Homo-oligomer: A and B are copies of this chain.
Amino acid sequence: MDFPITKIKGGVGAAKGFLTSAVSCGIKNPASDRLDLALIYSDKPCRSAGTFTTNKVKAAPVKVTQSHLKKGSLRAIIANSGNANACTGLQGLHDATAMCEGVAKELGLKKTEIGVCSTGVIGLPMPMVRVESKYEDLVTRLAATQGNHVARAIITSDTHEKEVAISFDMGDHRVRIGGCVKGAGMISPSMATMLCFITTDANLAKECLQKAVQESVEESFNRITIDGDMSTNDSVIVLANGASGMPVARRGRSACRQFRQALGWVMLELAKAVVRDGERVTKFVTVNVKGARTHLDAKKVAEAVCKSALVKSSWNGGDPNWGRIIHAVGYSRARIREELIDIFIGGKAACLGGLQAETPMEQLREVVSHPEFDIDIDLNQGSAVYTMYSSDLSPEYVDFNRSEYAYWKQARKDGLV
Protein backbone atom coordinates (compact mmCIF):
# COMPACT_ATOMS: atom_id res chain seq x y z
CA MET A 1 0.00 0.00 0.00
CA ASP A 2 1.47 3.33 -1.08
CA PHE A 3 -0.59 5.39 1.42
CA PRO A 4 -1.79 5.08 4.99
CA ILE A 5 -5.12 3.44 5.78
CA THR A 6 -6.89 3.22 9.12
CA LYS A 7 -9.05 0.31 10.22
CA ILE A 8 -12.33 1.66 11.52
CA LYS A 9 -15.30 0.15 13.31
CA GLY A 10 -18.03 -1.60 11.41
CA GLY A 11 -18.46 -3.24 8.05
CA VAL A 12 -20.86 -2.79 5.19
CA GLY A 13 -22.56 0.15 6.93
CA ALA A 14 -19.37 2.03 7.84
CA ALA A 15 -19.28 4.31 4.79
CA LYS A 16 -21.22 7.59 4.83
CA GLY A 17 -24.78 7.51 3.58
CA PHE A 18 -25.34 3.76 3.90
CA LEU A 19 -28.14 2.42 6.06
CA THR A 20 -28.66 -1.24 6.94
CA SER A 21 -31.15 -3.49 8.65
CA ALA A 22 -31.62 -7.20 9.34
CA VAL A 23 -34.47 -9.34 10.62
CA SER A 24 -35.31 -12.94 11.28
CA CYS A 25 -37.94 -14.42 9.01
CA GLY A 26 -37.43 -18.06 9.85
CA ILE A 27 -35.79 -19.32 6.63
CA LYS A 28 -32.72 -20.67 8.38
CA ASN A 29 -34.79 -22.16 11.15
CA PRO A 30 -38.46 -21.38 11.71
CA ALA A 31 -38.06 -22.20 15.39
CA SER A 32 -35.29 -19.69 16.08
CA ASP A 33 -34.93 -15.95 15.76
CA ARG A 34 -31.54 -16.07 13.99
CA LEU A 35 -31.15 -13.15 11.58
CA ASP A 36 -31.56 -14.37 8.00
CA LEU A 37 -32.78 -11.44 5.90
CA ALA A 38 -30.86 -8.19 5.47
CA LEU A 39 -31.09 -4.91 3.59
CA ILE A 40 -28.33 -2.51 2.55
CA TYR A 41 -29.44 0.91 1.25
CA SER A 42 -27.76 4.12 0.16
CA ASP A 43 -29.58 7.36 0.88
CA LYS A 44 -28.36 8.69 -2.46
CA PRO A 45 -27.83 7.14 -5.92
CA CYS A 46 -24.77 4.90 -6.36
CA ARG A 47 -22.43 3.56 -8.94
CA SER A 48 -22.31 -0.21 -8.62
CA ALA A 49 -20.36 -3.19 -9.92
CA GLY A 50 -20.37 -6.92 -9.29
CA THR A 51 -18.75 -10.20 -10.16
CA PHE A 52 -20.58 -13.50 -10.01
CA THR A 53 -20.08 -17.27 -10.04
CA THR A 54 -18.73 -18.83 -13.22
CA ASN A 55 -20.75 -21.97 -12.46
CA LYS A 56 -23.08 -22.63 -15.39
CA VAL A 57 -25.77 -23.60 -12.93
CA LYS A 58 -26.55 -20.12 -11.62
CA ALA A 59 -29.00 -19.40 -8.85
CA ALA A 60 -32.02 -17.25 -9.72
CA PRO A 61 -30.89 -14.21 -7.64
CA VAL A 62 -27.56 -14.20 -9.49
CA LYS A 63 -29.38 -14.00 -12.84
CA VAL A 64 -31.73 -11.28 -11.61
CA THR A 65 -28.96 -9.15 -10.07
CA GLN A 66 -26.81 -9.47 -13.18
CA SER A 67 -29.74 -8.30 -15.28
CA HIS A 68 -30.39 -5.32 -12.97
CA LEU A 69 -26.71 -4.35 -13.03
CA LYS A 70 -26.79 -4.32 -16.83
CA LYS A 71 -29.73 -1.92 -16.82
CA GLY A 72 -28.10 0.64 -14.54
CA SER A 73 -26.80 1.00 -11.00
CA LEU A 74 -28.00 -0.64 -7.83
CA ARG A 75 -28.82 1.42 -4.75
CA ALA A 76 -29.92 -1.35 -2.39
CA ILE A 77 -29.33 -5.06 -1.81
CA ILE A 78 -31.65 -7.57 -0.17
CA ALA A 79 -29.99 -10.80 0.95
CA ASN A 80 -31.14 -13.94 2.72
CA SER A 81 -29.46 -17.02 4.13
CA GLY A 82 -30.89 -20.52 4.62
CA ASN A 83 -32.16 -21.02 1.08
CA ALA A 84 -30.04 -20.54 -2.05
CA ASN A 85 -32.97 -20.17 -4.48
CA ALA A 86 -30.88 -22.27 -6.87
CA CYS A 87 -32.22 -24.98 -9.20
CA THR A 88 -35.67 -23.54 -8.66
CA GLY A 89 -36.52 -22.79 -12.32
CA LEU A 90 -38.98 -20.10 -13.37
CA GLN A 91 -40.50 -19.97 -9.91
CA GLY A 92 -37.08 -19.08 -8.53
CA LEU A 93 -36.71 -16.20 -10.99
CA HIS A 94 -40.19 -14.95 -10.06
CA ASP A 95 -39.32 -15.13 -6.38
CA ALA A 96 -35.98 -13.33 -6.75
CA THR A 97 -37.64 -10.61 -8.81
CA ALA A 98 -40.45 -10.35 -6.29
CA MET A 99 -37.92 -9.75 -3.50
CA CYS A 100 -36.53 -6.79 -5.49
CA GLU A 101 -40.01 -5.48 -6.24
CA GLY A 102 -41.04 -5.80 -2.63
CA VAL A 103 -38.26 -3.68 -1.17
CA ALA A 104 -38.24 -1.31 -4.17
CA LYS A 105 -41.86 -0.44 -3.46
CA GLU A 106 -41.18 0.23 0.21
CA LEU A 107 -38.10 2.31 -0.65
CA GLY A 108 -39.70 4.19 -3.53
CA LEU A 109 -37.11 2.89 -6.00
CA LYS A 110 -37.27 0.98 -9.29
CA LYS A 111 -36.89 -2.79 -8.93
CA THR A 112 -33.82 -2.63 -11.17
CA GLU A 113 -32.10 -0.52 -8.50
CA ILE A 114 -32.21 -3.51 -6.14
CA GLY A 115 -29.74 -6.39 -6.04
CA VAL A 116 -30.81 -9.73 -4.53
CA CYS A 117 -28.60 -12.49 -3.09
CA SER A 118 -29.39 -15.82 -1.50
CA THR A 119 -27.28 -18.53 0.13
CA GLY A 120 -28.18 -21.85 1.66
CA VAL A 121 -29.61 -25.15 0.49
CA ILE A 122 -29.93 -25.82 -3.26
CA GLY A 123 -33.13 -27.05 -4.90
CA LEU A 124 -35.79 -25.97 -2.42
CA PRO A 125 -38.34 -23.27 -3.30
CA MET A 126 -37.96 -19.95 -1.46
CA PRO A 127 -40.39 -19.68 1.46
CA MET A 128 -41.76 -16.44 0.04
CA VAL A 129 -44.57 -16.08 2.57
CA ARG A 130 -41.97 -15.62 5.28
CA VAL A 131 -39.93 -13.18 3.21
CA GLU A 132 -42.79 -11.02 1.91
CA SER A 133 -44.08 -10.20 5.34
CA LYS A 134 -40.76 -8.58 6.24
CA TYR A 135 -40.20 -5.95 3.53
CA GLU A 136 -41.84 -3.16 5.50
CA ASP A 137 -40.07 -4.15 8.67
CA LEU A 138 -36.68 -4.19 6.91
CA VAL A 139 -37.18 -0.69 5.50
CA THR A 140 -38.54 0.73 8.77
CA ARG A 141 -35.52 -0.54 10.64
CA LEU A 142 -32.93 0.95 8.24
CA ALA A 143 -30.35 2.87 10.26
CA ALA A 144 -26.74 4.02 10.17
CA THR A 145 -25.59 1.15 12.34
CA GLN A 146 -22.33 0.15 10.62
CA GLY A 147 -23.75 -3.11 9.36
CA ASN A 148 -22.76 -5.83 11.80
CA HIS A 149 -26.26 -7.34 11.76
CA VAL A 150 -26.01 -7.73 7.95
CA ALA A 151 -22.79 -9.70 8.44
CA ARG A 152 -24.63 -11.92 10.92
CA ALA A 153 -27.75 -12.33 8.76
CA ILE A 154 -25.93 -13.73 5.73
CA ILE A 155 -23.85 -16.43 7.40
CA THR A 156 -24.77 -20.12 7.23
CA SER A 157 -22.16 -22.64 8.33
CA ASP A 158 -19.76 -19.82 9.20
CA THR A 159 -18.78 -19.78 12.87
CA HIS A 160 -18.87 -15.99 13.11
CA GLU A 161 -19.61 -12.86 11.08
CA LYS A 162 -16.78 -11.45 8.97
CA GLU A 163 -16.47 -7.74 8.27
CA VAL A 164 -13.85 -5.06 7.84
CA ALA A 165 -13.84 -1.30 7.26
CA ILE A 166 -11.13 1.24 6.57
CA SER A 167 -10.76 4.96 6.04
CA PHE A 168 -8.10 6.85 4.11
CA ASP A 169 -7.61 10.19 2.42
CA MET A 170 -8.15 10.74 -1.27
CA GLY A 171 -6.87 14.26 -1.89
CA ASP A 172 -8.61 16.48 0.68
CA HIS A 173 -11.39 14.05 1.36
CA ARG A 174 -11.71 11.29 3.94
CA VAL A 175 -13.09 8.16 2.26
CA ARG A 176 -14.42 4.94 3.77
CA ILE A 177 -14.71 1.37 2.41
CA GLY A 178 -16.49 -1.29 4.43
CA GLY A 179 -17.72 -4.76 3.73
CA CYS A 180 -18.87 -8.11 4.99
CA VAL A 181 -18.54 -11.60 3.62
CA LYS A 182 -20.18 -14.96 4.08
CA GLY A 183 -18.70 -18.34 3.16
CA ALA A 184 -17.19 -21.32 4.87
CA GLY A 185 -17.60 -24.35 2.62
CA MET A 186 -17.96 -24.91 -1.12
CA ILE A 187 -15.05 -22.54 -1.53
CA SER A 188 -12.92 -22.68 -4.62
CA PRO A 189 -11.44 -20.50 -7.29
CA SER A 190 -12.81 -18.94 -9.21
CA MET A 191 -15.00 -17.39 -6.54
CA ALA A 192 -15.89 -18.92 -3.26
CA THR A 193 -19.40 -20.00 -2.17
CA MET A 194 -19.75 -16.72 -0.91
CA LEU A 195 -21.59 -13.47 -0.70
CA CYS A 196 -19.60 -10.28 -0.27
CA PHE A 197 -21.08 -6.82 0.01
CA ILE A 198 -18.89 -3.74 0.02
CA THR A 199 -19.94 -0.12 0.27
CA THR A 200 -17.90 3.03 -0.11
CA ASP A 201 -18.51 6.76 -0.04
CA ALA A 202 -15.82 7.28 -2.66
CA ASN A 203 -16.95 8.99 -5.85
CA LEU A 204 -16.04 6.75 -8.78
CA ALA A 205 -16.74 6.68 -12.47
CA LYS A 206 -18.47 3.45 -13.50
CA GLU A 207 -15.47 2.18 -15.50
CA CYS A 208 -13.08 2.91 -12.63
CA LEU A 209 -15.28 0.99 -10.19
CA GLN A 210 -15.88 -1.96 -12.51
CA LYS A 211 -12.18 -2.45 -13.20
CA ALA A 212 -11.21 -2.05 -9.56
CA VAL A 213 -13.76 -4.70 -8.55
CA GLN A 214 -12.68 -7.19 -11.24
CA GLU A 215 -8.99 -6.84 -10.45
CA SER A 216 -9.50 -6.99 -6.71
CA VAL A 217 -11.66 -10.13 -6.93
CA GLU A 218 -9.01 -11.77 -9.12
CA GLU A 219 -6.38 -11.18 -6.45
CA SER A 220 -8.49 -12.12 -3.44
CA PHE A 221 -11.59 -14.31 -3.73
CA ASN A 222 -10.30 -16.08 -6.82
CA ARG A 223 -7.20 -17.15 -4.86
CA ILE A 224 -8.75 -18.96 -1.95
CA THR A 225 -9.75 -22.58 -1.67
CA ILE A 226 -11.19 -24.68 1.09
CA ASP A 227 -12.75 -27.70 -0.56
CA GLY A 228 -12.39 -27.14 -4.30
CA ASP A 229 -16.10 -26.82 -4.86
CA MET A 230 -17.68 -23.80 -6.54
CA SER A 231 -21.12 -22.56 -5.71
CA THR A 232 -24.11 -21.55 -7.80
CA ASN A 233 -24.60 -18.33 -5.84
CA ASP A 234 -21.24 -16.56 -5.49
CA SER A 235 -21.63 -12.81 -5.68
CA VAL A 236 -19.47 -9.80 -4.90
CA ILE A 237 -21.33 -6.49 -5.13
CA VAL A 238 -19.83 -3.06 -4.50
CA LEU A 239 -21.89 0.12 -4.10
CA ALA A 240 -20.23 3.56 -4.27
CA ASN A 241 -22.36 6.60 -3.40
CA GLY A 242 -19.83 9.46 -3.50
CA ALA A 243 -21.02 10.77 -0.10
CA SER A 244 -17.45 11.63 0.89
CA GLY A 245 -17.74 14.73 -1.27
CA MET A 246 -14.63 13.96 -3.32
CA PRO A 247 -14.56 14.78 -7.03
CA VAL A 248 -15.23 11.82 -9.30
CA ALA A 249 -12.28 9.47 -9.89
CA ARG A 250 -12.03 8.34 -13.48
CA ARG A 251 -10.39 5.21 -14.84
CA GLY A 252 -6.70 5.66 -15.52
CA ARG A 253 -6.30 8.52 -13.04
CA SER A 254 -4.20 8.24 -9.88
CA ALA A 255 -7.27 8.59 -7.64
CA CYS A 256 -8.79 5.53 -9.30
CA ARG A 257 -5.56 3.58 -8.82
CA GLN A 258 -5.51 4.60 -5.17
CA PHE A 259 -9.07 3.37 -4.67
CA ARG A 260 -8.19 0.11 -6.45
CA GLN A 261 -5.37 -0.49 -3.95
CA ALA A 262 -7.61 0.18 -0.97
CA LEU A 263 -10.43 -2.00 -2.34
CA GLY A 264 -7.91 -4.77 -3.02
CA TRP A 265 -6.78 -4.62 0.59
CA VAL A 266 -10.34 -4.85 1.91
CA MET A 267 -11.23 -7.78 -0.36
CA LEU A 268 -8.07 -9.70 0.53
CA GLU A 269 -8.80 -9.24 4.24
CA LEU A 270 -12.32 -10.58 3.72
CA ALA A 271 -11.12 -13.45 1.50
CA LYS A 272 -8.55 -14.53 4.09
CA ALA A 273 -11.23 -14.35 6.77
CA VAL A 274 -13.30 -16.82 4.72
CA VAL A 275 -10.45 -19.35 4.63
CA ARG A 276 -9.71 -18.91 8.34
CA ASP A 277 -13.37 -19.57 9.09
CA GLY A 278 -13.61 -22.52 6.64
CA GLU A 279 -15.71 -25.46 7.76
CA ARG A 280 -13.78 -27.27 10.48
CA VAL A 281 -10.54 -25.66 9.34
CA THR A 282 -7.52 -25.68 11.66
CA LYS A 283 -4.78 -24.28 9.38
CA PHE A 284 -4.38 -21.20 7.19
CA VAL A 285 -1.71 -21.87 4.59
CA THR A 286 -0.27 -19.34 2.15
CA VAL A 287 1.18 -21.07 -0.92
CA ASN A 288 3.63 -18.90 -2.86
CA VAL A 289 4.77 -20.23 -6.21
CA LYS A 290 7.67 -18.52 -7.93
CA GLY A 291 10.15 -19.21 -10.71
CA ALA A 292 7.41 -20.37 -13.10
CA ARG A 293 7.70 -19.82 -16.84
CA THR A 294 4.32 -18.11 -17.02
CA HIS A 295 1.63 -16.72 -14.74
CA LEU A 296 -0.62 -19.60 -15.84
CA ASP A 297 2.00 -22.22 -14.94
CA ALA A 298 2.43 -20.65 -11.50
CA LYS A 299 -1.33 -20.63 -11.01
CA LYS A 300 -1.70 -24.30 -12.06
CA VAL A 301 0.94 -25.34 -9.52
CA ALA A 302 -0.64 -23.30 -6.70
CA GLU A 303 -4.11 -24.66 -7.44
CA ALA A 304 -2.96 -28.29 -7.65
CA VAL A 305 -1.21 -28.04 -4.28
CA CYS A 306 -4.01 -26.11 -2.58
CA LYS A 307 -6.70 -28.52 -3.83
CA SER A 308 -4.94 -31.85 -3.14
CA ALA A 309 -6.88 -33.83 -0.57
CA LEU A 310 -3.68 -35.62 0.43
CA VAL A 311 -1.69 -32.41 0.90
CA LYS A 312 -4.53 -30.84 2.88
CA SER A 313 -4.93 -33.95 5.03
CA SER A 314 -1.22 -33.85 5.86
CA TRP A 315 -1.48 -30.21 6.96
CA ASN A 316 -4.35 -31.22 9.22
CA GLY A 317 -2.07 -33.81 10.76
CA GLY A 318 0.79 -31.33 11.22
CA ASP A 319 2.86 -33.41 8.80
CA PRO A 320 5.41 -31.43 6.70
CA ASN A 321 4.98 -33.87 3.85
CA TRP A 322 6.86 -32.34 0.90
CA GLY A 323 6.53 -35.57 -1.08
CA ARG A 324 2.81 -35.01 -1.43
CA ILE A 325 3.41 -31.38 -2.40
CA ILE A 326 5.86 -32.27 -5.17
CA HIS A 327 3.57 -34.99 -6.49
CA ALA A 328 0.78 -32.38 -6.78
CA VAL A 329 3.22 -30.06 -8.56
CA GLY A 330 3.92 -32.94 -10.93
CA TYR A 331 0.30 -33.50 -11.96
CA SER A 332 -0.55 -29.79 -12.17
CA ARG A 333 0.02 -29.77 -15.94
CA ALA A 334 2.40 -26.84 -15.51
CA ARG A 335 5.75 -27.06 -17.23
CA ILE A 336 8.10 -28.17 -14.47
CA ARG A 337 11.37 -30.01 -14.11
CA GLU A 338 11.49 -32.21 -11.06
CA GLU A 339 15.23 -31.74 -10.52
CA LEU A 340 14.84 -27.94 -10.29
CA ILE A 341 12.06 -27.78 -7.70
CA ASP A 342 12.73 -26.24 -4.28
CA ILE A 343 10.11 -26.39 -1.53
CA PHE A 344 10.33 -24.34 1.66
CA ILE A 345 8.03 -24.79 4.62
CA GLY A 346 7.93 -21.75 6.88
CA GLY A 347 11.09 -20.51 5.14
CA LYS A 348 13.01 -23.74 5.89
CA ALA A 349 14.18 -25.91 3.01
CA ALA A 350 12.22 -29.18 2.81
CA CYS A 351 13.19 -30.13 -0.75
CA LEU A 352 16.05 -28.77 -2.85
CA GLY A 353 16.47 -29.70 -6.50
CA GLY A 354 13.72 -32.30 -6.18
CA LEU A 355 15.48 -34.08 -3.32
CA GLN A 356 15.01 -34.05 0.41
CA ALA A 357 16.85 -31.12 2.01
CA GLU A 358 18.95 -31.41 5.14
CA THR A 359 16.61 -29.49 7.44
CA PRO A 360 15.81 -31.78 10.38
CA MET A 361 12.25 -33.07 10.09
CA GLU A 362 11.53 -31.88 13.63
CA GLN A 363 12.08 -28.26 12.56
CA LEU A 364 9.62 -28.63 9.68
CA ARG A 365 7.12 -30.31 11.95
CA GLU A 366 7.38 -27.39 14.33
CA VAL A 367 6.40 -25.00 11.51
CA VAL A 368 3.40 -27.07 10.43
CA SER A 369 2.19 -27.36 14.01
CA HIS A 370 1.30 -23.65 13.90
CA PRO A 371 -2.16 -22.53 12.80
CA GLU A 372 -0.70 -20.37 10.02
CA PHE A 373 2.37 -20.97 7.86
CA ASP A 374 3.75 -20.41 4.36
CA ILE A 375 4.75 -22.93 1.70
CA ASP A 376 7.14 -21.51 -0.91
CA ILE A 377 7.61 -23.47 -4.12
CA ASP A 378 10.35 -22.31 -6.48
CA LEU A 379 10.19 -23.94 -9.91
CA ASN A 380 13.46 -22.21 -10.91
CA GLN A 381 12.35 -21.94 -14.51
CA GLY A 382 11.33 -18.32 -14.93
CA SER A 383 10.07 -15.27 -13.11
CA ALA A 384 6.30 -15.73 -12.89
CA VAL A 385 4.70 -15.88 -9.42
CA TYR A 386 1.30 -16.71 -7.95
CA THR A 387 -0.02 -16.83 -4.41
CA MET A 388 -3.01 -18.76 -3.06
CA TYR A 389 -4.57 -19.08 0.37
CA SER A 390 -5.70 -22.50 1.47
CA SER A 391 -6.91 -24.45 4.44
CA ASP A 392 -6.31 -27.97 5.64
CA LEU A 393 -8.90 -30.73 5.19
CA SER A 394 -10.14 -32.23 8.43
CA PRO A 395 -12.08 -35.38 9.25
CA GLU A 396 -14.54 -32.98 10.87
CA TYR A 397 -15.10 -31.20 7.52
CA VAL A 398 -16.25 -34.42 5.91
CA ASP A 399 -18.35 -35.34 8.88
CA PHE A 400 -19.92 -31.87 8.84
CA ASN A 401 -20.86 -32.24 5.17
CA ARG A 402 -22.14 -35.79 5.27
CA SER A 403 -25.80 -34.88 5.24
CA GLU A 404 -28.17 -32.01 4.66
CA TYR A 405 -31.12 -34.29 5.26
CA ALA A 406 -32.09 -32.31 8.33
CA TYR A 407 -32.82 -29.34 6.04
CA TRP A 408 -35.08 -31.46 3.87
CA LYS A 409 -36.97 -32.78 6.84
CA GLN A 410 -37.50 -29.24 8.07
CA ALA A 411 -38.62 -28.15 4.59
CA ARG A 412 -41.11 -31.02 4.52
CA LYS A 413 -42.45 -29.92 7.87
CA ASP A 414 -42.76 -26.38 6.52
CA GLY A 415 -44.82 -27.66 3.60
CA LEU A 416 -42.19 -26.59 1.06
CA VAL A 417 -41.55 -29.98 -0.55
* A residues whose Cβ falls under 8 Å from a Cβ of B: 54-58, 84, 86-89, 121-124, 185-186, 188, 227-232, 307-310, 313-314, 316-319, 321-324, 326-331, 336, 338-339, 341, 351, 353-356, 361, 365, 393-399, 401-405, 408, 412, 417
Indicate if the CB atoms of B123 and A58 lie closer than 8 Å. no
Chain B residues whose CB sits within 8 angstroms of the CB of A399 once the complex forms: 395
Closest to A231 in B: B327
Chain B residues whose CB sits within 8 angstroms of the CB of A308 once the complex forms: 228-229
Chain B residues whose CB sits within 8 angstroms of the CB of A353 once the complex forms: 89
Give the 3 A-B CB pairs with smallest separation, nearest first: A317-B402, A57-B330, A122-B323
Q: What are 29 pairs between A and B in contact, CB < 8 Å? A: A55-B327, A56-B336, A56-B338, A57-B327, A87-B323, A87-B326, A87-B338, A88-B355, A121-B323, A122-B326, A123-B351, A123-B355, A124-B356, A186-B310, A227-B310, A229-B324, A229-B328, A231-B327, A309-B393, A314-B401, A317-B405, A318-B402, A319-B402, A319-B403, A361-B405, A361-B412, A395-B395, A395-B396, A395-B399
Indicate which residue in B321, B331, B341, B403 contacts A314 across the interface (CB closer than 8 Å): B403
Indicate if the CB atoms of B354 and A89 lie closer than 8 Å. yes
Indicate if the CB atoms of A405 and B313 lie closer than 8 Å. no
Given contacts A229-B324, A395-B402, 8 further A-B contacts (CB under 8 A): A87-B326, A87-B354, A89-B354, A122-B323, A314-B403, A318-B402, A395-B396, A397-B398
Determine the distance from Cα of A319 to Cα of B123 in the docked complex, in whole angstroms. Answer: 14
- A318 CB to closest chain B CB (Å) equals 7
Indicate if the CB atoms of A318 and B355 lie closer than 8 Å. no
Determine the distance from Cα of A319 to Cα of B399 in the docked complex, in whole angstroms. Answer: 12
Copies in the complex: 2
Chain B residues whose CB sits within 8 angstroms of the CB of A314 once the complex forms: 401-404
Indicate if the CB atoms of A398 and B394 lie closer than 8 Å. yes
- A interface, over-half SS: loop
Indicate if the CB atoms of B228 and A309 lie closer than 8 Å. yes
Determine the distance from Cα of A309 to Cα of B230 in the docked complex, in whole angstroms. Answer: 11
Indicate if the CB atoms of B405 and A365 lie closer than 8 Å. yes
Indicate if the CB atoms of B86 and A323 lie closer than 8 Å. yes
Determine the distance from Cα of A318 to Cα of B122 in the docked complex, in whole angstroms. Answer: 17
- A242 CB to closest chain B CB (Å) equals 36
Chain B residues whose CB sits within 8 angstroms of the CB of A405 once the complex forms: 317, 319, 361, 365
Determine the distance from Cα of A317 to Cα of B323 in the docked complex, in whole angstroms. Answer: 31
- A299 CB to closest chain B CB (Å) equals 16
Closest to A55 in B: B330
- A193 CB to closest chain B CB (Å) equals 9
Indicate if the CB atoms of B404 and A339 lie closer than 8 Å. no
Chain B residues whose CB sits within 8 angstroms of the CB of A322 once the complex forms: 123
Indicate which residue in B56, B229, B328, B403 contacts A309 across the interface (CB closer than 8 Å): B229
- A77 CB to closest chain B CB (Å) equals 23
Indicate if the CB atoms of B323 and A402 lie closer than 8 Å. no
Indicate which residue in B56, B121, B309, B361 contacts A330 across the interface (CB closer than 8 Å): B56
Indicate if the CB atoms of A330 and B232 lie closer than 8 Å. yes
- Which of A228, A321, A351 is the most central at the interface, judged by chain B CB atoms within 10 Å of its CB? A321
Indicate if the CB atoms of B338 and A57 lie closer than 8 Å. yes
Indicate which residue in B89, B361, B417 contacts A339 across the interface (CB closer than 8 Å): B89
Chain B residues whose CB sits within 8 angstroms of the CB of A361 once the complex forms: 405, 408, 412, 417
- A25 CB to closest chain B CB (Å) equals 22
Determine the distance from Cα of A229 to Cα of B228 in the docked complex, in whole angstroms. Answer: 13
Determine the distance from Cα of A100 to Cα of B30 in the docked complex, in whole angstroms. Answer: 69
Indicate if the CB atoms of B331 and A398 lie closer than 8 Å. no
Determine the distance from Cα of A330 to Cα of B193 in the docked complex, in whole angstroms. Answer: 13
Closest to A394 in B: B398
Determine the distance from Cα of A318 to Cα of B405 in the docked complex, in whole angstroms. Answer: 9
